A = this chain, B = another copy of it.
Amino acid sequence: MIKSTVSRRGFFGGVAAALATVGLGPKSFLFAQGRRRVTEAEYDGFAKLSSNENPYGPSDAVMEAMNYGFKYANRYGYPDGDILQKIADHHGVETDNVLLGAGSGEILKIVGATFLQIRKKVVGVEPSYGSVYRHASGVKADSIKLALLPDYRQDIPAMIDATQKNYRDVGFVYMCNPNNPTGVIVPKREIDQLLDAIPEDVPVLMDEAYHHFVTDPQYASAVPHVLAGRQVIVARTFSKISGMAAIRLGYAIAPKNLIDQMRPMGTGSISAIAKWGGATALGDTAEQEEVKRITLELRGKTTAALTQLGFDCIPSETNFFMVHLGREVRPVIDEFRKRNVLVGRPFPPMLQHLRVSIGTAEEMERFMTAWKEIFPNGGPKASG
């Protein structure tokens, strides 16, 4: 029953669907990928496996809640579904420990704006979610980017070492867990190891955007470290498991002293639609389980097929995975684009790996069809 709910979301929910055929927009828009104009119909026709999106969109309950939020479209300080309290309750913290952001992207920017200045440093691995490092450059801070281990895990001893050696200059440590673009987790014991070894006053930003897709029992959220009083900031988003990427809602969970420092750097400018949707999405666990189930099933099917064709896939704990091509990724991305399949951009220094987000079953079929055209002779490990 839940499955059918997820599957039948084409556009979303009954309310918006009524408007699906209304022609509102211009004939084309500036498409970020490639910076050229594409038509809306062209965009809608892509298999979109490039941005780790949830292809099913918000659940019906969340759609209903967001529509309800329109009631306060023209207001300030309106009833907001009690989103802050609900997030606090969800994690067993106080509302003083929660900061809302327009997506976890805003949270990452706020952390940068709060803890980095000229010559301060952020410590983290590369590749990872790059916006933290880009923001650091923007404010003339430095990034200490550590290489991944040969098996693509984050190098915790190197992270500890870099933090200790640069202690006076480190603004914060950044860890995306599971990591984007690799899909690999940092196990709980390694987070404990990191926090045990670095000075207690160094903030650690744990980006848990893909938290909900993890099944590995060695993984654990870092929220308990916040409750234990460590200077840990956990960033969460409604963009992935809840399918609300374009609605822009995320939050930070952190000790009050850090939230108090961060708050003035935020816009405090979250839409009523996001707040009402988020307040409902938090409790939407059956839908989330179903999105996770379908996504992991399709991930398993796709990586098995690629392995069969002779390509190594990095074992993933997220709604995307990386596959080793044995050649440069850039022309491969272009080949997919020609077939109306959008796949992940290059992630230096892993320039022979392709990141593939898990779309719908139909999109994954289009991906595999394109794959076989682009790699007619199989992969580096192909037997043929």
Q: Smallest distance from the beta carbon of A141 to chain B beta carbons, Å?
A: 12
What residues make up the interface of A, taking CB atoms closer than 8 Å to B? 11-13, 15-16, 18-20, 22, 24-26, 28-33, 40, 43, 48, 51, 53-58, 63-82, 84-86, 101-103, 105-106, 109, 113, 135, 138-139, 239, 243-248, 264, 267-274, 276, 279-280
Q: Which residues of B contact A271 (CB under 8 A)?
A: 102, 246-248, 271, 273-274
Q: Assess whether B79 is in contact with A40, with CB atoms less than 8 Å apart.
A: yes
Complex CA gap A51/B74 in Å reads 10
Contact of A68 with B246 at beta-carbon distance under 8 Å, contacts A31-B77, A40-B79, A74-B54 already known: no
Chain B, Cβ-Cβ closest to A277: B73
Complex CA gap A102/B78 in Å reads 17
Complex CA gap A64/B101 in Å reads 26
**5 shortest A-B CB distances, which residue pairs?**
A246-B272, A102-B269, A32-B77, A16-B70, A74-B243
Q: Assess whether A24 is in contact with B63, with CB atoms less than 8 Å apart.
A: no
Q: Which residues of B contact A243 (CB under 8 A)?
A: 73-74
Q: Assess whether A26 is in contact with B82, with CB atoms less than 8 Å apart.
A: yes
Q: Which of A67, A82, A113 has the most CB atoms of chain B within a 10 A radius of its CB?
A: A67
Q: Which of A239, A248, A280 has the most CB atoms of chain B within a 10 A radius of its CB?
A: A248
Q: Smallest distance from the beta carbon of A119 to chain B beta carbons, Å?
A: 15
* 13 residue pairs bridging A and B, Cβ less than 8 Å apart: A12-B71, A13-B70, A19-B67, A20-B71, A24-B68, A30-B82, A53-B75, A74-B243, A76-B245, A101-B269, A106-B269, A248-B270, A271-B273
Complex CA gap A18/B17 in Å reads 14
Complex CA gap A13/B19 in Å reads 13
Q: Assess whether B246 is in contact with A75, with CB atoms less than 8 Å apart.
A: yes
Q: Assess whether B43 is in contact with A79, with CB atoms less than 8 Å apart.
A: yes
Give the number of times this chain occurs in the complex, counting copies. Answer: 2
Q: Assess whether A245 is in contact with B113, with CB atoms less than 8 Å apart.
A: no
Q: Assess whether B102 is in contact with A267, with CB atoms less than 8 Å apart.
A: yes
Which one of B68, B84, B102, B272 lies within 8 Å of A22 (CB-CB)?
Answer: B68
Besides A32-B76, A75-B246, A138-B264, 8 other CB < 8 A contacts? A15-B19, A15-B67, A31-B77, A48-B75, A53-B76, A55-B74, A66-B273, A76-B245
Q: Smallest distance from the beta carbon of A72 to chain B beta carbons, Å?
A: 5
Complex CA gap A18/B272 in Å reads 18
Q: Assess whether B138 is in contact with A25, with CB atoms less than 8 Å apart.
A: no
Q: Which residues of B contact A105 (CB under 8 A)?
A: 267-269
Q: Assess whether B30 is in contact with A78, with CB atoms less than 8 Å apart.
A: no
Contact of A25 with B279 at beta-carbon distance under 8 Å, contacts A54-B74, A67-B15, A105-B269 already known: yes
Chain B, Cβ-Cβ closest to A71: B11
Q: Which residues of B contact A11 (CB under 8 A)?
A: 70-71
Q: Which residues of B contact A58 (CB under 8 A)?
A: 70, 73-74
Q: Assess whether A24 is in contact with B65, with CB atoms less than 8 Å apart.
A: yes
Q: Which residues of B contact A80 (CB under 8 A)?
A: 29
Chain B, Cβ-Cβ closest to A275: B246
Contact of A26 with B267 at beta-carbon distance under 8 Å, contacts A73-B57, A75-B53, A246-B73 already known: no
Q: Smallest distance from the beta carbon of A256 to chain B beta carbons, Å?
A: 17
Q: Which residues of B contact A15 (CB under 8 A)?
A: 15, 18-19, 67, 70
Q: Assess whether A25 is in contact with B64, with CB atoms less than 8 Å apart.
A: no
Q: Assess whether A109 is in contact with B267, with CB atoms less than 8 Å apart.
A: yes
Complex CA gap A86/B75 in Å reads 25
Chain B, Cβ-Cβ closest to A15: B15
Q: Smallest distance from the beta carbon of A210 to chain B beta carbons, Å?
A: 15
Q: Assess whether B51 is in contact with A75, with CB atoms less than 8 Å apart.
A: yes
Complex CA gap A190/B20 in Å reads 49
